[in-house]
Amino acid sequence: MHLIVGLGNPGRKYDGSRHNMGFEVVDEVSRENIIRFKASKFSAYAGEGYIGLLKTVLMKPTTYMNRSGEAVRDFVRYYKMPMDELASKLIIVYDDVSLPVGRIRIRERGSAGGHNGIKSILYQLETEDFIRVRVGVGGKPEQMALSDHVLGRVKGDEAIELSRSVLIAARAVEDIMRHGAGFAMNKYNVSEETKVKKEKKEDKAEDRGDLLE
C-alpha cells in the first residue's frame, strides 16, 4: 500500500495559497483516480482506492502545517506500515520556496530544508527515508515576510504556472508509484532549459539520421 500525503493548512482562508500546493496535488490525484476524501478518525481528510492496481491512501492533514507529522504518524501506525517500507511507499507532497515557480523536484530522503511540515514528519517518524515531491513556489520578494509569501493567494500568470505544476506533480506521484523514485527523478528533476537543449540535440541527431525508429 502507498500512502500519499499532501501538506497544507485547512480552511478556506488558505485555499489557493502557495503553502497549500501539497493539498492541490493530492486533490488532483484524487480526481484523476476517483478516490473520494472524507473526514477520518485521525486529524486528516483521507480516501482509500486504487491507482491502477496499486492500493493507495490519499491524505491531507488538518493539524495545520507545523504539526503535520502527528497525522502522518497516526496513519502509518493505523495501516501498520513497516518502517523499512516508508522509503518506497510514503510520498509527501509540499511547496518549496527554494525552487522557482513551475519546477518540481523529487527526493528520496534528506533534511527538512526549513519546511515546518517536513520538520514535524521527521520528528514524529524518526526517519528521513521517505519520498518527497517538492513543488516550486518561488522565493519571497525582498522586504516581504516569508509567512506572508507562502500564505498569500497566488494570482495572474503565477497562478496559471502553478496550476500547471500541480498537474505535473500529480503525474510524478503516479510515476513514482508505478516505476519507482529513480525513474521519476530522471524524468522530472530537470530544468526547462535542460529539456530544451535535450530536445534540440535529439532533433539534430534525427536530422543526421542518428536516431532509428
Q: Which of 7, 10, 16, 11 is nearest to 155 (CA)?
A: 16
If we measure between CA atoms, which residue out of 21, 86, 172, 1 comes closest to residue 9?
Answer: 21
Rounded Cα–Cα distance for residues 206 and 181 (Å): 30
Backbone φ and ψ for 56, nearest 5 degrees, come out as -140, 140
Contact 161, 99 (CB under 8 A): no
The catalytic site residues sit at 19
* φ, ψ at 60 (rounded to 5°): -130, 105
Question: Between the CA atoms of 168, 172, 185 and 138, what dihedral angle is there, to the nearest 10 degrees?
Answer: 40
Place of cell 539534430: 204
